Structure 1
């Protein structure tokens, strides 16, 4: 109990660093571009370099919260065909995943600034509450419209959990040491990506509506995560009235970001699937999204007092490279998580559990390499070589996956996935360290939030494109088989039922049609990964990860904590004396 009181009391320590940080550029390839803060509104500095024993508990809490959010996202992936069958949604089921990513992406840029204004802990608890309510409602959904709306609500909460967790890491650990700790945190992300589909498949397969248990499982996880945040995150509070904090939020920018992201993604999702690309629905939403995005940029440039996305950060080439490659990273990662299990179910006839388990080779290697990459960055202070190596290996692995056919052996399926995991593990966390090292400390939360925004945007667009490609090609192929209308509609609604409703020869043709659609998606993966490799080679140079005031902040934190403990001990001794030594 005494230790918990020490932690709670240490929250009030004032460890405020100079917001205009200088960086040492000794032994690096390129000097960082000088950033001129353009923000007109003061923010409380939440930098709080904790002693190692406290860092561990903060990281465990961050890992718990991150796992809760990612499990929510990945468990549902393998259950989509079963939800489609139970609710009779047909090929529209991909909209359930898209709804989550639309809201999580559209709200993403808010999370960084709001956590600057309200404090990390209060924002994180609010997001967990939204996640809880959305999952509770999702578990009770009876129609396609209901599950769509409720998953969109979950996206608002789930989308910000990982972002705020990464921001907290930036608050409590110095930039150079951050690589090691974020590598460990990245391992928990990879683990959730791996076990999520397995757990989701196991729960969904228990009965026709077993998928509801996926959402029910999230309820206690959200409660436990909230408890971890409350008791094990000794973070600094932010002073100020509610009205003052509300006045600082860039509401116009938030509205434009929501409108632009939502309409753009809807247009891409509808095009070629729900409506022809030339239809008014698609053109109208794409135009609205484009106009809203332009207005958002203009507002952030000239109108916002405290921008959600300060444009001056894009003067730095590493920021540009990091944002571009994170967009492509999101495209690839999200589509892999959602569509590889579906590919294994439809083409190879694997169960939901086995198809989810087939993601494990990627995840296990990614987990180990992510941790190792973080340690290497801490030891060497370099990230460029890791990023380039990662994208090169990832591209090779995806190229091998394009060779998958109905006769590909299990050994090759696993082996090629291991290569993909080796590449993925070297790209995500090193890129985060790179862009954080390229901006001022006051912009740390913003750049982390923008990074997650573009990653989610890439994932949302990836899901839309992959779904469109597979659906269009699969429908076209099925029509050429001249199947009875009722069989055709049943297979469109749930391709897995083809194994029970047609003869072996027809089944082979149906599977081949699905495989062709997926092969196009796989080829798109290779092109996207290759583009990311080129961009990283051109833009991701090594910047110094040393901050001149790191040692000062650590020492100040240590001394203030010791003084606080000594003061508390003296107070306890006085109380003990007053009570007669009892």
Structure 2
């Protein structure tokens, strides 16, 4: 089995591929892409340096190849699949769980317990991956996730189920960025884009399969199998990563005390607290409580007071911070974070409200609405993989993000025109165009790996992953508020004889049972108009992401690969 070993000598003052290096005298420009120039006396070792402040410290990265790489990729995909599945399968399982535990008032916590922990812990796990052994942290996280799944599957009460969801969220938080990090340390940078696209496609696959599997388990076997399923699949992932992944190693020993000193515990706690305040405020506002309720604005106030403390801690901690300012200020990293945040806002709105359009306006079942969403998700996955292969062959990626954002903006605009009279060809083609644009969403993971050192990659990828979670949470809160308000207004306009509260309270799949036949057409138009209005903000999100993407550095993956230390291959 062939393995390539790269040694990165670390010094106190250097950061490989920092903006100053890329734009300085050590690089020349051919076309739009910088390539290394050796005229200034810069050696490969100089370019490969990282920054832990230990002169004798070296990081050995062993890339996998052949069958070993194929098996490892499959294992990582399975690990990410169960995480993605856990956040989608719950949608069709919740109604049965509330009946079993008589816990309708706990519905919000079934999703929140998982998502709050998942989002708030991502930067902390990104930091853990830089301090402790990557493989060990990933495997421990997988065990925690599996434990949470078992608790959910064996739950005897609503509280036990909520606890299980929170425990699973802890593990999932580490597995999300951990999966990308394993690929980063197993695949050479010039070949990494296609593998990243394949791993990221697990989200799209889970979005399709999750609700269908949840419904099938609930109807045919038991809702508990929606969580028992994670045990064997996660077990395979554990075995594969444990035996086929060679984690990057340090040649010098760092004591446990030094590792703990590198952890930013106070910063992590403040970030977790601030993030939970923000997400709870967004989830409760306009849904559980009114926006002017003291609980909601109190949470926003808490977020506003805690986050400045977090920022201050990060500045003072420097390179030992949970989110070092030197990483966030790097242009490509900042662009990638903002771009992913906006893309996620548009994507979550589409994935949640297009099925609502199919079920409420076109009177399809939940299963059929999921099937109708396949064009969006499949075109997303196919284009992401094609883009990854293209990056592997050419090394160029920055203009793909521009092309993708353009398609995404056009597709989002077309989706907002769907109405009660739209044909099958329209919603099919509109979704394909939008999905093709969404395929560029995996490019930021490649971009941050081009400009960051090997040690910084875990933090960079965790920040991009965090922006995905936060973008979705913010978008769904905004969308819910817009939809609820506009549905009431449109029902009053198109079906004045109907009390809007009746339509809102009965839900999208049952309002036909309570609305008189002569008023049904008006209510359907009201639903269609309300959904159209919800689909307008994604146009702005996608357009803004295009503007922000113009700021990405025009670099080349192969240019960086050629500038790293010489590779010694061994069989």
TM-score, structure 1 normalization:
0.83
Contact 1:28 1:543 in 2 (8 A): no
Distance, in Å, in 2 between the alignment partners of 1:541 and 1:370 is 20
Are residues 1:311 and 2:311 paired?
Answer: no
Distance, in Å, in 1 between the alignment partners of 2:224 and 2:519 is 33
Are residues 1:499 and 2:490 paired?
Answer: no
Distance, in Å, in 2 between the alignment partners of 1:275 and 1:340 is 26
1:258-273 superposed matches below 5 A: 258-273=272-287
CA deviations over 1:537-564 (Å, ceiling 9, x no partner)? 2x123113246676876732x23xx4xx
Contact 1:90 1:493 in 2 (8 A): no
- In the other structure, the counterpart of 2:464 is 451
Structure 1 residue corresponding to 2:291, chosen from 266, 277, 299: 277
- In the other structure, the counterpart of 2:243 is 231
Aligned length: 544
- In the other structure, the counterpart of 2:233 is 221
Are residues 1:515 and 2:510 paired?
Answer: no
C-alpha change, 1:314 and 1:243, in structure 2 (3 Å) is closer
- In the other structure, the counterpart of 1:344 is 358
Shift of 1:135: 2.3
Contact 2:149 2:227 in 1 (8 A): yes
With 476-485 and 315-324 compared, the bigger mean Cα shift is at 476-485
Task: Name the SS for the 1:408 alignment partner.
Answer: coil
CA deviations over 1:172-205 (Å, ceiling 9, x no partner)? 2222221232233233443333333332343345
Task: Name the SS for the 2:323 alignment partner.
Answer: coil
Tell me which protein shows more strand as a share of its residues: 2
Contact 1:78 1:200 in 2 (8 A): yes
Distance, in Å, in 2 between the alignment partners of 1:203 and 1:344 is 23
C-alpha change, 1:40 and 1:534, in structure 2 (3 Å) is same
Shift of 1:107: 0.5
- In the other structure, the counterpart of 2:16 is 21
Shift of 1:240: 5.4
1:277-426 superposed matches below 5 A: 277-303=291-317, 306-425=320-439
Distance, in Å, in 1 between the alignment partners of 2:228 and 2:374 is 24
Contact 1:118 1:245 in 2 (8 A): yes
Distance, in Å, in 1 between the alignment partners of 2:51 and 2:474 is 31
CA-atom RMSD, angstroms?
3.4
With 37-46 and 528-537 compared, the bigger mean Cα shift is at 37-46
Structure 1 residue corresponding to 2:195, chosen from 155, 178, 181: 181
TM-score, structure 2 normalization:
0.84
C-alpha change, 1:150 and 1:508, in structure 2 (3 Å) is farther
Distance, in Å, in 2 between the alignment partners of 1:235 and 1:205 is 43
Shift of 1:306: 1.6
Structure 2 residue corresponding to 1:161, chosen from 154, 168, 175: 175
Contact 1:366 1:421 in 2 (8 A): yes
Task: Name the SS for the 1:404 alignment partner.
Answer: coil
Distance, in Å, in 1 between the alignment partners of 2:381 and 2:454 is 28
Contact 1:41 1:248 in 2 (8 A): no
Distance, in Å, in 2 between the alignment partners of 1:513 and 1:379 is 50
Contact 2:59 2:249 in 1 (8 A): no
Shift of 1:458: 0.7
Distance, in Å, in 1 between the alignment partners of 2:542 and 2:105 is 28
Structure 1 residue corresponding to 2:475, chosen from 433, 442, 462: 462
Distance, in Å, in 1 between the alignment partners of 2:105 and 2:432 is 31
C-alpha change, 1:54 and 1:79, in structure 2 (3 Å) is same
With 331-340 and 517-526 compared, the bigger mean Cα shift is at 331-340
Contact 1:195 1:360 in 2 (8 A): no
- In the other structure, the counterpart of 1:428 is 441
Contact 2:125 2:173 in 1 (8 A): no
C-alpha change, 1:540 and 1:484, in structure 2 (3 Å) is closer
- In the other structure, the counterpart of 1:117 is 131
Contact 1:131 1:153 in 2 (8 A): yes
Unmatched 5+ residue regions in structure 2? 36-46
Unmatched 5+ residue regions in structure 1? 563-582
With 221-230 and 288-297 compared, the bigger mean Cα shift is at 221-230
Shift of 1:30: 6.5
